Amino acid sequence: MKSPINPAKIIVVDDHDIIRLAVKYLVNETDYLQVVAETGEGGEALALCRKHSPDLLVLGIMLNNRDGLDILIQVKKEFPNLPVLILTAHDENTYGIRSFQAGASGYLNKRFAGAQLLTAIDCILTGNKYITPSMTQILASWVQTGMQENAHEALSAREFQTIQLIASGMSVGDIAEKLHLSVKTISMYRARILQKLVLRNNAELMRYVFDNNLVLDRRE
């Protein structure tokens, strides 16, 4: 934990102004934490980390121009020791496991941020993982069932992004452009998805997404 003389530096990346404002207010009310930068654009996250060398990144999942899990993967590649707290409107069942797999140090639903945000930050800054009671149950079930209760839990973070974007109506080319990957790579992800979920085509893939409530929600 940093001292009031040298507060821990925090960067906030979320596409909702009110969320960034709320996080900033709660953090800056303390004498040992400080929000040094914020942005609503996921593409700016890495640049801000390079500029400020933060002690913690607070990151949303659904961002205007990038997927939060994609940002998380990139951040952990360049800054493997930088702890990241995922702050999202989605409950743990949807993105919790994938966030921890991608390197997150904590996962907090925005509904509880007012009461739990500082607790989560303090926990993470002391070198621990912040895991809510509900997340603990999900992790326990995940381990006991051989790491996947549902077939889609076998998908990688990239494959999970791809299946959601396909179901949202995007073409392989559009997805490749959005994720800054090649069409060949996205086509490979699609083939792996169909194989892992035992599906034959995009129609079955879309039905699977809707039946399992995996629809990409842009209202976060």
pLDDT (average), residues 74-94: 90
Q: What is the mean pLDDT of residues 170-183?
A: 90
Percent helix / strand / coil, the chain, rounded to 5? 55, 15, 30
pLDDT tens for 127-148 read 999 988 777 777 766 665 554 4
CATH of domain 8-144: 3.40.50.2300
Q: Which residues partner with 6 through β-bridges?
A: none
Provide CATH 3.40.50.2300 ranges for the chain: 8-144
Residue 219 has pLDDT above 50, yes or no: no
Residue span(s) of the chain under CATH 1.10.10.10 come to 151-211
In the CATH scheme, what is the code of domain 151-211?
1.10.10.10
Mean pLDDT computed over every residue of the chain = 86
Tell whether the model's pLDDT for residue 55 goes beyond 70. Answer: yes
User: Residue 145: its pLDDT value, please?
Assistant: 55
Sign of CA dihedral 194, 200, 201, 204: negative
Q: How far is it, in rounded angstroms, from Cα 209 to Cα 109?
A: 22
